[in-house]
A and B are shown apart, each in its own frame.
Chain A
Amino acid sequence: MSFTDLAFFAFVGVTILAYFVTPKRFRWVTLLVASLAFYWINSGWLLLILLATVAVTFGVALWIEASNKRGKDELAAAGKKLDRAEKKALRAKAKKRSRRILALGVCLVLGALLLLKYYDFFADNAAGLLKPLGITPPHFAFLLPLGISFYTLQAIAYMTDVFRGKVKADRNFLKFTLFMSFFPQIVQGPIPRHAQLAKQLYEPHDFDYTRLCHGAQLALWGLFQKMVIADRLAVPVGQVFENYTQYHGLMLFVAAAGYGLQVYTDFSGGMDVARGVAQMLGIELELNFKQPYFSTSIEDFWRRWHITLGSWMKNYVFYPLSLSKAFANLSRKSRRFLGDFVGKRLPPILAMFTVYFLVGFWHGADWKYIMYGVWNGIFLVAGILLPEQYAKWADKLHIDRESFYWRTFQIVRTFIICSLGRLFSRGETLEAAWQMFGSIFAEWNNFTWLSESTRLSLGLTERNWMLLFAAIAVLVWVDRKHEHGIHLREAIDRQRLPLRWIIYYGGIAAVFVFGMWGPAFDASSFIYGRF
């Protein structure tokens, strides 16, 4: 049951109704039942794998909390007798104990993800090494539990937050199960933090008509992005990527840029449906996209794109790695050889590369995804090491870096870098991506992609192309309004009743009439739902 199925709309309708007629004390139970039912409908017995992760996470968090408390009690009992160094040693010892429990928890939940999602990848790569020994590792092709890449990160974040003393461990297993399985976000995020979401799920919310309307509008806008733009773009983009040897030069770049837009509208559309549905129930999920196509640098792009993954990586990989003793030693040693400037920046640079390697790998068990991460990592590191150089060049060329033209240039430059990176995430294989990459620069072939005959050979009719361009224009307009801090839904609220209803019905009609329905366009599974 995808977000774009009519059955899902019915499911949401029944859940909302049930939620608000349930007595307040038990409203969270309604959400839990709905979430487990949703998971069961989509994944059947794989629900047990999710529940196993929930149980491990729940238990480990309580254990960590008990260990933290023991450490504090020990310190309080011995506190006055100890000097500063002894206190520090005692604190370190207690922390180490808690850290071991955390490591166990992380290994267990991450182990499940690695086994189910990445086993075959490792087996394939190990096969070459093991061949001389006459061993062929078996292939399992495990079925992936829905949302495993997302809820695993959520579980790690929760256990780490308990370890760091940021949140209290949950004591009610059923409530915690709801936190881990809340149906709008389980499919593809946003990846929540306990401090932000749990309380909202456990507390009852009153019915609020305006909020219900806003949630429905957001969900509708999500469906528009997904069904009118993303699923339509998928047709020509798929045609080019799947037959990439037939296309050359700029055409391949346009396809890569088109794929970028497809992923954006697919993922951001899915997020808006999730956030809209949650909002109707009175629950605010975190924002995952902030007009990424207005980014002026790759760094800026990653601050606006899949924000909750970026912030997860920052809090649970980048900071701990950068501040680790090993990295601090490396920094000290490298300063002798590389000088202060690079030496000081080496730990965060290495940590950042690790992050983007992981971001790539998280997307899928394939070298092309790793290359996608590395591609982004290269530009991020360049952005860190070369800003002074960039400034010098800009001064030499007498560029006013505050001007509109410079900002536009930055946005276009970022768009080109991002689009080229998409070759790796969408290319059929890593080799195919490199071949396309080479062709874009080597086979400079005029603008044949603009011609009507080329356009019509890509699987969309002229009417569909026009519709696609119009829908993209609407998207750009909406994103631009958001970029300027204008809240469209509130603006709609201020309109007179008839106009408001014309907008509502127009939106619904646009999705129903112009959405890509039916088996002819079977692109309706969400791209990030597969990650």
Chain B
Amino acid sequence: MEDILAILEEVRPDVDFLNEDRLIDDDILDSFDIITIVGEFNEEFDIEIDVEDLEPENFNTVAAMKELIDKLQAE
């Protein structure tokens, strides 16, 4: 969780990630942020986040992102 937060805060230092639960639905993160974050996740966690995974429910909260990463690591 810590490492995920560190990546997120590097990309968007202005967002309070722990207290937001509609990061995508409320347009807090835009498509450009998503791509930057996905690139970092892929590198850091040795996973391949695919286009199919780019759904709001996977990126609305930090917990959802963690769940996605765990799922891809387990595959």
Contact = CB atoms under 8 A, between A and B. Distances in A.
Interface of A: 84, 87-88, 164-166, 299, 303, 314-315, 318-320, 322-323, 328, 331, 344-345, 347-348, 351-352, 384
A165 B42 CA distance: 22
Interface string B30-43: 11101110111010
B36 A164 contact: no
Given A164-B51, A320-B51, A323-B50, A347 B32 contact: no
A384 B51 contact: no
Interface SS majority for chain A:
helix
Q: Lowest 4 CB-CB distances: which A-B pairs, in order?
A: A322-B35, A348-B35, A164-B52, A319-B51
A320 B51 CA distance: 6
Interface in B2-48: 27, 30-32, 34-36, 38-40, 42
B39 A347 contact: yes
Nearest to A351: B35
B49 interface: yes
22 contacts: A87-B75, A164-B51, A164-B52, A165-B52, A318-B31, A318-B35, A319-B34, A319-B35, A323-B38, A323-B49, A323-B54, A328-B42, A331-B39, A344-B36, A344-B40, A345-B32, A347-B35, A348-B31, A348-B32, A348-B35, A351-B35, A384-B32
Contact of A319 (B36, B39, B42, B54): B54
Contact of A352 (B32, B36, B40, B50): B32
Contacts of A84: 75
Contacts of A299: 30
B42 to A, nearest CB: 8
Nearest to A84: B75
Contacts of B39: 328, 331, 344, 347
A87 B72 CA distance: 13
Contact of A323 (B30, B32, B51, B75): B51
Nearest to B52: A164
Given A84-B75, A87-B75, A88-B75, A348 B51 contact: no
Interface in B46-75: 49-52, 54, 75
Nearest to B49: A323
A384 B42 CA distance: 22
Nearest to B11: A344
Given A318-B35, A331-B39, 19 more contacts: A164-B52, A165-B52, A299-B30, A318-B31, A319-B51, A320-B51, A322-B35, A323-B49, A323-B51, A328-B39, A328-B42, A344-B36, A344-B40, A345-B36, A347-B35, A347-B39, A348-B35, A348-B36, A351-B35
